[in-house]
Each structure stands twice: as structure tokens, then as C-alpha cells.
Structure 1
Amino acid sequence: MEIKNRMITAATIICLLSTAVTEAISLARMGTELRCHCVKMESRFILPKNLLNVQLIPSGPHCSNTEVIATLKSGLLVCLEPKAPWVKKIIKKILESSKPTPETRI
């Protein structure tokens, strides 16, 4: 009977430890995702031919700033200053291209 109790206790401890580790990992991941991506912003003009992709991240619970992250053809990620006039034009184009056209509305 004593061996059975020890096995049940050991199984319970293993389950509790695995649950605690799983929760700790998910909380650690959440902590890194719930913050701003950009620390330094670039406002100098970047030639469009050097841009591979531009990602617009609206402000939200993760960050109070709107973030514009450009991927250059070199693979470098650059945070763009959303208030720079040339970046405002890019944001406008992104928002216009994401609006549904009359044909796509249901």
C-alpha cells in the first residue's frame, strides 16, 4: 500500500511540475510579444526599390505606438517613423489597398 501511495504522489508531482513549466513558458512568450517592436525609428527616406515588404502594426495593448516595419531587400528590418511625410504616403497606400472594393463586399 505504501508503494502505491508513493507512486500516486510521484505522478501527481510530475503532473504539477509539467503544468507549471508549460505555464511559465507561455507567460514568458506572452511577455516578449506584449511590447513594442521598434525602439529606434528611421525618418530618412528609403528608396522604394530597396523595400521588399512594409508591415503596418496598429497601436494596441502591446504598444501604444503605430509601428511601421520595413524589410529591405538586404534582409535588414527597419522601423520607420510613422509621422515622416514619405512614410505617411506608404501607410495611406497600405490602407487603401486593404479596403474592400465594391465587388469584394458581401
Structure 2
Amino acid sequence: MNCKITGSVVILCLALAAVSEGMSLKSIGLELRCQCIEKESRFIHPRQIQNVELFPSGPHCKDAEVIATMKSGHKICLDPNAHWVKIVIKRILER
């Protein structure tokens, strides 16, 4: 009986540690999966965009991701192969 309680407590602690580790990775901006399901390739005027974030491919996602935060606060995934997005990426990397 005492062994079952000890085992249950250990399993509970390990589960809590795993959940909290996953939450802490997300809070510092490390997603463990791709963030973009759909990608927009149509031109978006730069005046509508507040910020652009570049996420290179890696173990979390096989594709590079470009996420634009609009001035309205809405986030849009951009197609990194679109001509105008390539120009935006080039300008960001030159800074």
C-alpha cells in the first residue's frame, strides 16, 4: 500500500515537471511545433504591418516561418517563397 502511494506521488511529480517545462518553453517563445498552417502569399502593404518575425527551420518545424503582426494585432503567416516576402526578409537581414 505504501509503495503504491509513493509510486503515485513520483508519477504525479514527473507529470507536473513535464507540463511546467513545456509551458516555460512556450513562454520564452520556443514552440515545439510549426506555427504556420496556412501561409499568405498575396501582397500586404507595409503600412499595415507592425512587426515581422523570422523563424528558421529546425527540429520544431522543417519549414522556415515568417510571421507578420499587423497593426490590428492579428498575426499572419507569410509564404517565404513569395517574391515580396523575400524582399522583406532581405531588408530585415540587412539591418
The residue that corresponds to 1:47 in the other structure is 45
The residue that corresponds to 1:78 in the other structure is 76
State TM-score, norm by structure 2. Answer: 0.77
The residue that corresponds to 2:17 in the other structure is 23
Note the C-alpha offset of 1:42: 0.2
Q: Distance in 1 between matches of 2:22 and 2:52?
A: 28
Name stretches of at least 5 consecutive residues in structure 1 with no aligned partner: 1-5, 98-106
Q: How many percent of aligned residue pairs carry the same amino acid?
A: 49
Runs of 4+ in 1 over 4 A off after TM superposition: 26-30
Q: Distance in 1 between matches of 2:20 and 2:51?
A: 29
Q: Distance in 2 between matches of 1:34 and 1:13?
A: 29
Deviation digits for residues 18-61 of structure 1 (CA, Å, limit 9, x no counterpart) = 4222234147657x932110000000000000000000001110
The residue that corresponds to 1:91 in the other structure is 89
State TM-score, norm by structure 1. Answer: 0.70
